[in-house]
Each structure stands twice: as C-alpha cells, then as structure tokens.
Amino acid sequence: MKNAFDFTGRRVLVTGGAQGIGRAIVEGFAACGAHVLIADLQQVPAEALARSLRDGGCDVSAVTLDLADRDATLQLLAGLPRLDVLVHNAGYFPLTPLLEIGPTLLERTLAVNLGALFWLTQGALPLFRRQGGGCVLVTSSVTGPRVAYPGLTHYAASKAGVNGFIRNAALELAPEGVRVNGVEPGMIRTPAMGNLGDAGHAAAIARGVPLGRLGEPGDIAAAMLFLASDQASYITGQTLVVDGGATLPETLAATAG
C-alpha cells in the first residue's frame, strides 16, 4: 500500500482506531506517510498502538473520545490545526434480539454509529473550508443497506442511515470540495466478531462466502486508502462493498458445495 498511495503531510483522524478494522486503517495511513490521530473510547490500546507506530517511525497520536458525546466530539475537531481525511470507523453493535432492545441500547447505537457522523462532519467542515476541500470516509456495513442479521436490527437501522447520510452529504458538500464515501464490510475477522458466535460459527460463515474466506481488516483499510487518495478524486456519494462476494447469491443454496 505504501507504494500505491502517498499521504505524506496529510492529517487523518480515525475514530475507533484502537483495534480491528480501525487499527488496520490507522496502520495503513501511517505507513503511507500521514499524521494519524486515533480517537477511541479505549484509552490504553489506542495509546499503545500510537506508541508502537511512533517507535516504527510513523507519526501517530491518540486521544480518548466518547463519540456519543456531541460536545466533546465538536471540541476535539475545533482544536485541530488541520484535517485532510476524516474516517468514522467506530461502531456499537451488541447482539440483541429486537424485542429486547431498550431505549438506552438504541440511543447509544444510533449516537455512535450515525449521530457522531453528523457531529464529526460538521466539526471538520471549517477545517476543510480553510484548505479548500477534504474527504469524509465511513465504515458502513452490508448489514442494513443490503442484508439482514438476527439480533442486529438496531445496528442495521443505523447503517442504513449511514448510507443515506453518505449520499446526501456528498451532494451538499461537493461545492465545498469535500468528498464523502463509505466502505461496506462483510464478515471481517476482528475481535468484535466474537459478538456473533464462536469459531465454529465463523467457519460456517466463511463457507458461505464465494471467495471462500472471511475478510481481514487490511481488506477494508486498502479500500479506505483508495477512496481517500487522489486516484479517487472523482468519486463521491458512493459505498464500496468489500465482502468476498457474500451478498451476491440470492440464497445460501447458491454457494452450497
């Protein structure tokens, strides 16, 4: 990726960058020369990652942030000297049956997954305007916009909203030179995948993927780097599905061997 994209001198903010997909995104931008700021609720792993990457010669720092807190989110953006790429990757999705979803769970899911996207973008816009443009990227999901998964109705609704935000914000912000795009991951091998079941369950899911494997965090990071790069300068209002072809079959029977 370092040979394909050059982000030297650019400043990138990644929410939820301490582990999983977010960690791979942070590592990808850092390897390509960007100054990366990790904003994560988990202070210890975020700072440990930043320290490890700095030891390797990269320019990475970390701050603790609860994205459900609008004021704190806007305050963080207001304190930045510059921002070229905003990546909202943080997500909240405890597996919960529909009839057991209460106000607290629903409100936090919507606040972190969708609401924070509004505040982050609003806070980033003055920085983008100052330099004549910028890039907003979002980790969406195939769950909600394309497929369904039991126990994730709250998450699916938030991600369907994310995709609506991407299209509308892209239209409104295009005159400002701001591009807005997203990536829709399928089943990616991350610590958070443990919420969906054990290793046997993961293996069963992998057998249903046309490419024959679960995705890796680096698969999503590579898509993010492309969408943030100058090579994607004419792309906005889009989501890129990265799922190994999992959403292609009309039924699971189509992939049964």
Q: Which residues form the catalytic set? A: 155
Q: How far apart are the first and last CA of the chain?
A: 34
